[in-house]
Amino acid sequence: MVSVTLRMPEDVIEDLKRIAPLLGFSGYQPLIRAYVGQALRRDLERVDTDAVSGLVASLKKRGVSAAVIEEALAEVRG
């Protein structure tokens, strides 16, 4: 892990400290890590989906068949 300094309003920290044990976290810092991780994964998925959709549209516009595109997507997904 890497140490990060983050300034946050006191009331937010107090709320995090209060809710962390109710959600099963050992403290507010693990809860912050969970929140950041969840939001990051959601945003990455959205960005990746948007990029793939754009690529598929571009390939179709250039005459690549839907079957070839689907085959390539299946190959990449494993």
Instruction: Tell me the pLDDT tens digit for each residue of 3-61.
Output: 999 999 999 999 999 999 999 999 999 999 999 999 999 998 888 888 888 898 999 99
Beta carbons within 8 Å of 52's beta carbon, 6+ residues apart: 73
Can you give the pLDDT at residue 33?
Answer: 97
- For the chain, the first-to-last Cα distance in angstroms comes to 30
Structure confidence by residue, pLDDT tens digits, 62-75: 999 999 999 998 89
Can you give the pLDDT at residue 47?
Answer: 82
Can you give the pLDDT at residue 7?
Answer: 96
pTM to 2 decimals?
0.65
Angle of helix 66-77 relative to helix 28-61, nearest 10 degrees, comes to: 150
